[in-house]
Amino acid sequence: MSDLFHVSAAPHTRSPITTKNIMQDVAIALIPAGLFGIYNFGINALLVIVVTILACVLTEYLYCKMMKKPSTAGDYSAVVTGVLLAFNLPASFPLWMAALGGIFAILLVKMLFGGLGQNFMNPALAARAFLLISFPVRMTSFAVEKISQTGITDYIQHGALAVDGVSGATPLAALKAGETINLLKMFLGSTGGTIGETSALAILLGAAYLVFKKVITLRIPLTYIISVAVFVILFGGKGFDMTFILGHILGGGLLLGAFFMATDYVTSPITPIGQIIFAISLGLLTGLFRLLGGSAEGVSYAIIFCNLLVPLIEKATSQKSFGKERAVREK
């Protein structure tokens, strides 16, 4: 009888899906944007991605060894953090600075707070904010120097932007300055910016994979994007100018942040209503930073700030346990 009857604490639900499976799917979904970033910016983009991944994985591995804990470096969460950090950096970013960002993301934001599931904000975005404060000039240097094409090696070494002579200025910066933008180039990705944010098409392909695999739902991303669009319509001063609205949606890190970072399981609410509140807050802050702030971007800080609000949002939107209200009344 003892072999058939087991008593254990709830919950009793079991699932074959593991953290490693989920992180592998996220890593796969990031491949299109990564490949396009390498095509766009050349070998330097690849080096930045490799360095941030190595820095994140090695930092987590060494920390677990030093603390005599089981290693979690193989669950792909550090890999995802490294890729997302690289996607938020310019291709010309010095490699030692990129490695420093990876160490900061894993050591200070993730592991010192207990590891995966305990971090209070997105590690990659926290590292981006740290690097932006520490090295503001390098973090905002998107200039692309045109070169003369002599063969396929130029594409590999310097990227399509340099070979084709496309401007390195970011579309959001041009939009904020009142300049004209090309929506088709923004959708395809032949524009300046960070490694992983330029191609809306590549990001959407990865997002479609995550939705297909049921890793994420569209509740947070769509609500976030719509909230930004509404804010831009109301306070952008352009009304229903579709070029202006789509420029804010396709430009910068909005799509990357909405589908790959705002949907982070650890730093986003688990309640449906809480997710809506979370996403609307993201949209309001992003619109506020972009339209009224000094910078053309605002996604990273919006997500970080809203990460801090998640415990409060969940507390306000969590359903009461069955019988809890009645027990309180009887007292």
Query: What's the pLDDT score for residue 143?
Result: 66
Between the ranges 151-155, 190-194, 320-324, where is the mean pLDDT highest?
A: 190-194
| pLDDT class of 167 with cuts at 50, 70, 90 | low
| Residues 97/99/104/106 CA torsion (nearest 10 deg) | 160
Angle at alpha carbon of residue 204, lines to 155 and 122, rounded to 5°: 95
E strands, 5-66, where?
Answer: none
Reading phi first (left if > 0) and then psi (alpha if -120 to 50, else beta), residue 225 is in: alpha
Window from 28-32, 209-213, 265-269 with minimum mean pLDDT: 265-269
The pLDDT value recorded for residue 187 is 93
Give me the architecture of the 19-317 domain, per CATH: Orthogonal Bundle (1.10)
- Specify the pLDDT at position 271: 92
The DSSP code for 166 is: -
Please, which pLDDT band fits residue 154 given cuts at 50, 70 and 90?
A: low
Find the range with the poorest average confidence among 105-114, 173-182, 264-273.
173-182
| Phi, psi (deg, nearest 5) at residue 282 | -60, -45
- Minimal CA–CA distance to 19: which of 74, 87, 69? 74
pLDDT above 70 covers a percentage of the chain that reads: 85
With bands split at pLDDT 50, 70 and 90, how would you rate the model's confidence at 206? Answer: very high
What's the confidence (pLDDT) of residue 72?
87
What local confidence, expressed as pLDDT, does residue 148 receive?
A: 62
Whole-Å CA distances, 165 to 40, 47, 55: 11, 22, 33
pLDDT at position 209 over 80:
yes
Q: In the predicted model, is pLDDT for residue 84 greater than 60?
A: yes
Residue 57, pLDDT score: 96
The candidate with the shortest Cα–Cα distance to 278, out of 245, 247, 252, 304, is: 304
Residue 220, both tokens:
């947070």
Report the pLDDT averaged over residues 195-220: 95
Average pLDDT, the chain: 87
* Contacts by residues 2-10 (CB-CB < 8 Å, ≥ 24 positions apart): none
| Nearest C-alpha neighbor of 192 from the set 168, 164, 158 | 168
Look at the alpha carbons of 225, 83, 303, 40 in this order and tell me if their dihedral is positive or negative.
negative
Distance from C-alpha of 29 to C-alpha of 24, rounded to nearest angstrom: 9
Angle between helices 200-212 and 31-41 (to 10 degrees): 160
User: Which among 137, 138, 60, 150 has a CA at the least distance from the CA of 104?
Assistant: 60
Q: What's the pLDDT tens digit per position in 228-255?
A: 999 999 998 888 999 999 999 998 899 9
Of 95-109, 183-197, 316-330, highest mean pLDDT: 95-109
Average pLDDT of the residues in 134-152: 76
pLDDT of residue 1 exceeding 50: no
The whole-number pLDDT of residue 17 equals 75
Q: What is the pLDDT of residues 31-75, one digit of tens each?
A: 999 999 999 888 999 999 999 999 999 999 999 999 999 988 888
